[in-house]
């Protein structure tokens, strides 16, 4: 019987399952290489943790690993129902609150190694975390993609730790009650981008679609809907998606360094975002390279010992796809 100790939390409604013990040993080396090892040698463990009958499509997992960068406190690899995430903002907030709940950290800054660079997370109180994300930037603006059955859709392509296609002019109702239609439309946009060979820099796949519009709460700046790579929608305002949006706002001179932006999800949960100029450069950036800062709150919801019984035909989760 294989046992995996996990702790669940939600950040603005979006769940995270952190593996505390019993996850795969991915060895040493840069986290990018360890993701490859996870995918090639232990993908069944990812599926067992995330997929039904123990998990669900919306769940994001996080495996704590020893950092490769010597100035980091820990490393983390995030994964979901279909694969691996380069970075995850809500998951990092969930990770910090989980570590605080276990009394493994107290107030202060934690440097976290990820497959796409180092992030800094500061525990402000037992539930609130400020995350300084990886350098983020807008790659292309005003990109038009023809979505079959709909027509042309215009958006920006930006990096916020994952690749995003951000659309303002979508004509959709950004409400939780409309999530099925938003998901269907987001999937069609993503398929159209792929069919048209529209990618992020270095031909990287754009696997997140973000639609944004007017907020419903007076204190918010904007509302968004984010479609994640596995087809689930982010219940939180999406940390990497908010970072990508901040990069676009900075590029359009619509948000100044240090100014606060309140990003609201379709369930009304809010992240506070701001940015500072980065010293990094990005060869094809259309606008400044920024360091986004994202503040959000998480709560621990469960502590589990997942049991993988070798006689269970579905011990590695139900088949997907």
Question: Interface mask (CB under 6 A) for ligand PYC, residues 94-123, using x and -?
Answer: ------------------------------
Is 72 annotated in the active site?
A: no
Residue 130's closest CA among 107, 160, 147?
Answer: 107
Conformational region of residue 119, where left means phi above 0, alpha means psi within -120 to 50, and beta covers everything else:
beta
Contact between 90 and ligand PYC by CB under 6 A: the answer reads yes
What minimum distance in Å lies between the beta carbon of 195 and ligand PYC?
23
Is there binding between residue 230 and ligand PYC (CB under 6 A)?
A: no
Among 238, 247, 298, 306, binds ligand PYC (CB under 6 A): 238
Number of residues binding to ligand PYC, judged by CB under 6 A: 12
In angstroms, give the least distance from the CB of 176 to ligand PYC. Answer: 16
Nearer to ligand PYC, 115 or 239 (CB): 239
Can you tell me the distance from the alpha carbon of 222 to that of 44, in angstroms, rounded to the nearest whole number? 38
How near is the Cβ of 234 to ligand PYC at its closest, in Å?
Answer: 5
**Residues comprising the chain, all counted:** 321
Nearer of residues 60 and 255 to ligand PYC, judged by Cβ? 60
Q: Which of 110, 222, 238, 248 is catalytic?
A: 238
Q: Considering the complex, what minimum distance in angstroms separates the CB of residue 183 from ligand PYC?
A: 14
Interacting residues of 265 by C-beta distance below 8 A, sequence separation 6+: 12, 13, 223, 224, 225, 226, 234, 235, 236, 237, 238
Contact (CB, 8 A) for 3 and 22:
yes
As measured in angstroms, the least distance from the Cβ of 309 to ligand PYC is: 30
C-alpha 93 chain-centroid distance: 11
Given 72, 88, 222, 228, the catalytic residue: 88
Q: How far is the CB of 99 from ligand PYC (least distance, A)?
A: 17
The binder of ligand PYC chosen from 8, 113, 207, 234 (CB under 6 A): 234
Residue 276, CA distances (Å) to 158, 161, 246, 268 in order: 17, 16, 10, 26
Is residue 143 a contact point for ligand PYC (CB under 6 A)?
A: no
Q: Which residue has the tokens 């360890």?
A: 34
Residue 196 phi, psi dihedral angles, 5° rounding:
-90, 5
Element (H, E) at 273: strand 270-277
- Nearer to ligand PYC among residue 67 and residue 241 (C-beta): 241
140 sits in which H/E element: strand 137-147
Of 18-26, 86-94, 275-283, 312-320, the segment contacting ligand PYC by CB under 6 A is: 86-94
Choosing from 15, 75, 239, 273, the residue that interacts with ligand PYC (CB under 6 A) is 239
Give the chain's largest Cα–Cα span: 59
Q: State both tokens at 31.
A: 């986290």
Question: What 8-state DSSP symbol labels residue 149?
Answer: T
Residue 238 annotated among the catalytic residues of the structure: yes
Among 7, 45, 59, 88, binds ligand PYC (CB under 6 A): 88
Segment interacting with ligand PYC, rule: CB under 6 A, options 30-38, 81-89, 198-206, 306-314:
81-89
Backbone angles phi, psi at 101, to 5 degrees: -60, -30
Nearer to ligand PYC, 179 or 240 (CB): 240
Q: CA 163 → CA 181, 196, 207, distances in Å?
A: 22, 16, 6
Crossing angle of the two packed helices 239-251 and 89-101, in degrees rounded to 10: 130
- Catalytic amino acids? 88, 238
Footprint of ligand PYC on this chain (CB under 6 A)? 14, 60, 85, 88-90, 228, 234, 236, 238-240
């Amino acid at each position: 019987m294989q046992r995996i100790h996990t702790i669940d939390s939600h950040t603005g409604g979006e769940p995270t399952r952190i593996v505390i013990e019993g996850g795969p040993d991915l060895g040493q080396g840069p986290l990018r290489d360890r993701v490859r090892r996870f995918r090639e040698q232990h993908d069944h463990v990812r599926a067992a943790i995330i997929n039904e009958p123990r998990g669900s499509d919306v769940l994001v997992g996080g495996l704590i690993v020893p950092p490769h960068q010597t100035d980091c406190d820990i490393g983390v690899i995030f994964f979901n129902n279909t694969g691996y995430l380069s970075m995850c903002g809500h998951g990092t907030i969930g990770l910090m609150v989980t570590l605080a709940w276990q009394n493994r950290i107290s107030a202060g800054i934690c440097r976290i190694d990820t497959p796409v660079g180092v992030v800094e997370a500061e525990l402000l109180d037992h539930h609130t975390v400020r995350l300084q994300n990886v350098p983020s930037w807008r790659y292309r603006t005003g990109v038009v993609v023809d979505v079959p059955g709909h027509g042309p859709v215009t958006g920006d392509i930006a990096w916020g730790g994952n690749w995003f296609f951000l659309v303002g002019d979508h004509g959709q109702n950004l409400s939780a009650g409309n999530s099925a239609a938003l998901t269907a439309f987001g999937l069609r946009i993503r398929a159209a981008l792929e069919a048209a060979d529209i990618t992020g820099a270095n031909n990287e796949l754009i696997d997140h679609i973000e639609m944004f519009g007017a907020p419903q709460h007076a204190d918010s700046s904007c509302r968004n809907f984010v479609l994640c790579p596995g087809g689930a929608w982010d219940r939180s305002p999406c940390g990497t998606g908010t970072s990508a949006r901040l990069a676009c706002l900075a590029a359009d001179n619509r948000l100044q360094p240090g100014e606060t932006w309140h990003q609201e999800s379709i369930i009304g949960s809010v992240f506070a975002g701001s940015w500072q100029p980065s010293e990094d450069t990005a060869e094809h950036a259309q606008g400044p390279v920024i360091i986004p800062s994202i503040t959000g709150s998480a709560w621990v919801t469960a502590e589990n010992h997942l049991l993988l019984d070798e006689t269970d035909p579905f011990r590695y989760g139900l088949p997907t796809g």
